[in-house]
A and B are shown apart, each in its own frame.
Chain A
């Protein structure tokens, strides 16, 4: 089954002269870990927001596990970790998890069990009762991920999950993602870090200026940076 099917999505932000997404199409099979690579401003975050139903006003279609988005019944099959650390800084990790768990309709019992699991998984159990504002950047990113997987989604959307993160936390996040993938979760990971995509993902979509540049297996490309430069005249790290 296809976990995600994005068909000819076109979107322009209000008052913007250029298209954020231009006839963009993408398909991800269930159980895959798929990288979405592109420089800053390529449209990666916009695509994530459209898939999750946050952004409306586009043309084309988005299907998540067969459900046409936006579809509230499909929302819990998705877990989303945005690029910004979207947590409540004056609440503790546990309080953040409790809040988002309630929004995901987890019962108190499920919540207690899952909170412990995700805190263990992301290595935050020891500091779960401290306010998030006291966490390092890496810890905040791990908690961002913990919230996204709390309700055991079938598909995880990660928007630049390791930006600004120390190497220790980055490795921790990689291990968590590999472990989640091994358990069958479909993961779409957006990044402009090639090494991250190559380490974690079997499939890749390269995008620039809202368009697909390449969509296929990671093994088909020897050098992502050079490939992107040849196709677009720009580096992946340009923005």
Chain B
């Protein structure tokens, strides 16, 4: 009963101190929110091409207005991958690209219906070769449909070519990347207030005073660790709420939680143990508040850079992808992507949680060997 009450007061004291520390609240909660918004917007363009279907901006000239030409114009305009852009009056081909942002000009000449003249394609000079090939292929298919009198070429060739790509498991949507990434990043920053608080108590004598009472050192340690663990949990779930309810309307992108969102609970419990372990380790190693903040921040930034937080894992070269595995943030982020993106069964997430638990155990063990209470 005594120990329970002492633990409750130790936790309450730590929480009161943290909650009244405005700088810490800003660091732990505002920083990740800002990062989520800005990095989602910054990375939007990277993801759009890879995971969603960007429409091709097309200008169509059809001076003859003959039936086949009109049919081709209609097919192109109504295709789901085409966004038709209207031609400014009097503009030549170069001016069209500058003024409209169009990527291709399709000219259906008067001789098209008679079969005398081919359809002409004018591409924006800066367009990638691969993109040009894709657009040419699309327009060619639609032209063949008109010339051959076929309603839908895809249904004709359906038995000749079949796409067997596996579902996307590697490329998260922008919010699937940034919400867990910057939540994890902020959770690791718990090391700063944790270690500075510990050092301040050592330096100003409150920790020494505490040991003049009949209170167990392990209880004091638990009373210090538990509040930060709880703060980590709150951090993650707050970022998740922002990702689900606020960010989509502000950045114009959706956030998918995956088919087994309840897996977030065990993942977050383990990730919070890893981040708290890191905080305890920094607290045991640092001797001054300046050392604390430098060690904690530098470590978190390095882990973030390596681990696919700042630079998404899927854009890294192969060597960096392997190197990422030394970062606990990599394992944490991948565990969250298992939930959000891959709809993974718990057995598939478990190995990552084991790695993170191992990291936490090592941190706590090293801290226990190094810590000096007085």
**Which residues of A are interface residues toward B (Cβ below 8 A)?**
49, 52-55, 72-73, 75-76, 78, 80, 82-88, 90-91, 95, 98-100, 102-105, 131, 147
Contacts and interface: CB of A to CB of B under 8 A. Distances in A.
Contact of A90 (B5, B8, B16): B16
B205 A102 contact: no
B128 interface: no
A98 B209 contact: no
B211 A53 contact: yes
B118 to A, nearest CB: 79
A83 B211 CA distance: 15
Interface string B197-218: 0000000111011111111000
A49 B209 CA distance: 10
13 contacts: A53-B212, A76-B214, A83-B205, A86-B204, A86-B206, A91-B16, A95-B13, A103-B9, A103-B210, A104-B214, A105-B5, A131-B20, A147-B209
Contact of B214 (A72, A86, A147): A72
A82 B205 contact: yes
Given A90-B21, A105-B5, 10 more contacts: A49-B208, A53-B211, A54-B211, A82-B208, A83-B205, A84-B205, A86-B205, A103-B210, A103-B213, A131-B20
B13 A86 contact: no
B2 interface: yes
Contacts of A131: 20
Contacts of B210: 103
Nearest to A85: B204
Nearest to A98: B9
B138 interface: no
Contact of B20 (A76, A90, A102): A90
A55 B205 contact: no
Contacts of A99: 9, 12-13
Nearest to B207: A86
B343 interface: no
Contact of A73 (B17, B204, B214): B214
B245 to A, nearest CB: 32
Contacts of B16: 90-91, 95
Name the 6 nearest CB pairs between A and B, nearest first. A86-B205, A102-B9, A84-B205, A103-B213, A86-B209, A52-B212
A66 to B, nearest CB: 17
Interface string B1-39: 010011011001100110011000000000000000000
A150 to B, nearest CB: 11
B316 interface: no
B7 to A, nearest CB: 10
A54 B208 contact: yes
Given A85-B204, A87-B206, A90-B17, A102 B6 contact: yes
B148 to A, nearest CB: 80
A73 B213 CA distance: 9
Contact of A100 (B17, B21, B213): B213
Interface centre among A54, A75, A85 (most CB of B within 10 A): A54
A55 to B, nearest CB: 7
B9 A78 contact: no
Interface centre among A49, A78, A82, A103 (most CB of B within 10 A): A103
A39 B67 CA distance: 109
A102 B16 CA distance: 16
Contact of A55 (B21, B206, B374): B374
B209 to A, nearest CB: 4
